[in-house]
Amino acid sequence: MKLKSLLKESKVWERKFGEPLPTLKMTTEKFKLKQENLNENDLNKVSKILGKSSSDVGKFLKKHVGLQADDLLDALEASRDRRRTALMIMAAMKGNRRALKQLDDMFGFM
């Protein structure tokens, strides 16, 4: 692949007159906003699948810092028995130690 074609694909040169070139700070802020949007979408999907409010799922994720909404969503989508995985996650949300242990074995967040 030629450098010329890469530059055309990257949209680096598409900016308005007087607009500054992107800086590291600008790109990291943009990335953080994008990640927050993705996390919010994943949180809504997980809460819909579990039948719980997104605030309840959010509280559970904040309590267990190493665990993220996309991890739960991946577990729900990848498992053969989606209902069983959903029940395990809901039990862990209620404080069931065995279910928390199973989640920890899957993701290693504790």
| pLDDT mean for each 10 residues of the chain (110 residues) | 64 73 85 79 87 86 81 83 86 87 75
- 94: amino acid identity, one letter: K
**Distant-in-sequence, close-in-space partners of 66: CB < 8 Å, separation ≥ 6:** 107, 108, 109, 110
> So what's the pLDDT on residue 8?
62
Q: Which residues of 22-47 are buried (b: 16+ CB within 10 A; e: fewer)?
A: eeeeeeeeeeeeeeeeeeeebbebbb
For 7, the token pair is 């530059």
The span from the CA of 109 to the CA of 75, in Å, is: 14
> So what's the pLDDT on residue 19?
81
Answer whether 72's CB lies under 8 Å from 41's CB: no
Answer whether 86's CB lies under 8 Å from 49's CB: yes
Q: pTM of the prediction?
A: 0.60
> So what's the pLDDT on residue 110?
56
* CA angle at 70 for the pair 60 and 45, rounded to the nearest 5°: 80
- 89: amino acid identity, one letter: I
> So what's the pLDDT on residue 50?
86
> So what's the pLDDT on residue 6?
62
